[in-house]
């Protein structure tokens, strides 16, 4: 599976164990459910009828401690590496058997598997919020090693927050960036040259080389072997940054600035025309959250901007590498990986998510399931479809929509069995009318059985209403 683009439907813990081989993934991005007033909806049962804790019907702001959490905890104690077992045991003593502990047990089991499938040169970005980031860092430190964290990145996901009445407004998420080894690739990200950056290049000798700024040539550390006079200018206290030969070469190229006073310090000219821009730091304020009117908006409340995933993938992988998202949600990581020439693996536990993946890949890249990529875990015959309909009619609905490449509409971000106001439309298929070039829509309604004449009349009424709508 790691050698081809694949979507998996199911519990990611079991998918990782059954399908993903050791050390086959280059980059992992995961945005797992965490405590931040977000709803995650999943099935009670899969096609085999087996219950899974990752398939709780309604994830509202937390996981819950129960039999499955206890079983996963015992499995970690008995089978996980010794330091992981000790860590999770200590956390249980400290935190107790509550929702947060159930969440951390769930995450620890999956992070052990994610570490296993990651190549020695691989990296992992875990997206979370401050509610659980400090606990997750302990888990990651134990799984990867305390020296393997590269950054704790702060992403300002919103400009203002209405909760700033009794505390500071919560406007950021956290990205925990770990590398499996020192050999993991990293490509610096250069930001756009904004006015603040451009204002630093105020000098110009009018020699055709353009604007430049000055950078010190002082060594930050004592360098006795680089302590020398140059053209009558005394060296800095700790010596120069460069050797005498390099200093002469810079001078020959006209890249040195000599102050009028011999007591001044020689500096180096950095020309704007030669600069890629300012390197991104571990605080990201330049990637805005998706607005309601954004073209890429899919109606998925926790959807992340494509630019965020593009930055991560560009920084920590190379073209042709394998990118894995085990909580793939609405498929932003998958879409970004495809755009940037990476191979990808997506795992999600709802047919809504898989249907959204299919629609997005079709809309953005004209990719078709079964032709351009694989889908594993969906019903493959009539009996499987009937079983899915019996288990959860909404999941059946989203799966059925994906078969005809219809975009899901209505519902919510995971399908816990509540759709809100039912407009009578479950999906749409947009197309361009040949004669006029006008955007048209096919409206789709899904029934899993027992279709009556009244249903047909209701659908006709929906069509008439939508046709008359402005």
DSSP secondary structure code for residue 226 in this structure: G
Percent helix, strand and coil across the chain, each to the nearest 5? 35, 20, 45
Whether residue 117 contacts residue 111, with contact meaning beta carbons closer than 8 Å, is answered with no
Mean pLDDT (the chain) is: 82
- The per-residue pLDDT for 301 is 52
pLDDT of 133 over the 70 cut: yes
- Tokens describing residue 41: 């909806």
Tokens standing for residue 251 = 């001078």
Q: What is the DSSP letter of 446?
A: -
pLDDT at 293 over 60: no
Instruction: Give dist(CA 80, CA 65) in Å, integer.
Output: 20
- β-strand partners of 373: 369
| pLDDT confidence of residue 40 | 39
In 89-245, which ranges are E strands? Answer: 118-128, 149-156, 172-179, 212-216
- Of the pLDDT bands very low, low, confident and very high (cuts 50, 70, 90), residue 193 is confident
Q: What pLDDT, on the 0 to 100 scale, is given for residue 238?
A: 94
Q: What is the pLDDT of residue 359?
A: 85
Written as six digits, the tokens of 205 are 């000798």
Q: For residue range 331-340, what is the model confidence (pLDDT) as tens digits?
A: 999 999 999 9
pLDDT at 431 over 90: no
Query: Please, which pLDDT band fits residue 388 given cuts at 50, 70 and 90?
Result: low
pLDDT of residue 385: 65
Sheet holding 267-271, edge to edge: 212-216, 267-271, 256-257
Q: What is residue 395's predicted lDDT score, i.e. its pLDDT?
A: 66
Burial of residue 305 (CB within 10 Å: 0-12, 13-18, 19+) is buried
Query: DSSP characters for 35-104?
Result: SSS-EEE--SB-TT--B-GGG-SEEES----SHHHHHHHHHHHHHS-HHHHHHHHHHHHHH-SSHHHHHH
What is the mean pLDDT of the segment spanning 270-284? 90
pLDDT of 436 strictly over 90: no
Angle, CA of 184, 189 and 192, to the nearest 5°: 175
Q: How far apart are CA 317 and CA 187, in angstroms?
A: 8
Q: Tell me how far apart the alpha carbons of residues 239 and 227 are, in angstroms, rounded to a whole number.
A: 4
pLDDT in tens, 448-464: 777 777 777 777 777 77
pLDDT at 63: 62
Residue 88 to residue 222: CA distance in whole angstroms: 45
Q: Please calculate the CA angle 425-387-456 and round it to the nearest 5 degrees.
A: 30
Strands 283-284 and 172-179: unpaired
In this model, does residue 381 exceed pLDDT 70? no
Kindly provide the b/e burial profile for residues 84-101, where b requires at least 16 CB atoms within 10 angstroms of the residue's own CB: bbebbeebbeeeeeeebb
């Amino acid at each position: 599976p790691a050698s081809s683009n694949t979507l998996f439907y199911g519990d990611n813990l079991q998918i990782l164990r059954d399908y993903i081989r050791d050390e086959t993934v280059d980059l992992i991005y995961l945005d797992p459910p965490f405590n931040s007033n977000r709803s995650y909806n999943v099935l009670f049962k899969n096609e085999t009828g087996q219950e899974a804790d990752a398939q709780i019907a309604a994830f509202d702001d937390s996981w819950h401690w129960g039999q499955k959490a206890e079983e996963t905890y015992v499995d970690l104690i008995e089978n996980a590496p010794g330091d992981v077992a000790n860590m999770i045991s200590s956390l249980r003593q400290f935190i107790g058997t509550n929702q947060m502990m159930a969440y951390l047990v769930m995450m620890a089991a999956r992070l052990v598997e994610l570490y296993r499938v990651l190549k020695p040169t691989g990296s992992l970005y875990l997206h979370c919020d401050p509610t659980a980031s400090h606990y997750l860092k302990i888990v990651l430190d134990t799984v990867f090693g305390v020296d393997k964290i590269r950054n704790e990145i702060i992403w300002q996901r919103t400009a203002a927050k209405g909760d700033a009445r009794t505390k500071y407004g919560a406007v950021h998420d956290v990205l925990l960036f770990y590398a499996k080894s020192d050999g993991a690739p990293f490509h610096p990200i250069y930001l756009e040259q904004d006015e603040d950056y451009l204002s630093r290049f105020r000098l110009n000798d009018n020699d055709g080389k353009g604007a430049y700024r000055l950078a010190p040539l002082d060594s930050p550390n004592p360098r006795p072997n680089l302590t020398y006079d140059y053209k009558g200018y005394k060296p800095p206290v700790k010596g120069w940054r460069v050797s005498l030969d390099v200093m002469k070469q810079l001078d020959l190229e006209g890249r040195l600035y000599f102050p009028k006073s011999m007591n001044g310090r020689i500096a180096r000219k950095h020309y704007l025309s030669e600069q890629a821009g300012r390197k991104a730091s571990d605080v990201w304020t330049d990637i805005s959250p998706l607005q309601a009117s954004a073209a890429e908006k899919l109606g998925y409340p926790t959807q992340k901007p494509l630019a965020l995933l593009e930055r991560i993938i560009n920084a920590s992988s190379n073209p042709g590498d394998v990118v894995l998202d085990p909580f793939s949600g609405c498929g932003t990581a998958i879409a970004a990986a495809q755009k940037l020439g990476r191979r990808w693996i997506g795992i999600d536990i709802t047919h809504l998510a898989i249907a959204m993946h299919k629609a997005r890949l079709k809309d953005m890249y004209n990719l078709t399931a079964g032709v351009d990529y694989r889908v594993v875990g969906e019903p493959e015959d009539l009996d499987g479809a009937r079983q899915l309909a019996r288990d959860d009619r909404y999941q059946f609905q989203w799966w059925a929509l994906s078969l005809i490449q219809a975009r899901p509409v209505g519902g919510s971000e995971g399908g816990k069995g509540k759709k809100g106001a039912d407009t009578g439309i479950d999906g749409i298929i947009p197309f361009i009318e040949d004669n006029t070039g006008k955007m048209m829509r096919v409206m789709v309604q899904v029934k899993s059985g027992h279709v009556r004449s009244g249903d047909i009349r209701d659908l006709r009424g929906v069509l008439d209403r939508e046709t008359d709508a402005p």
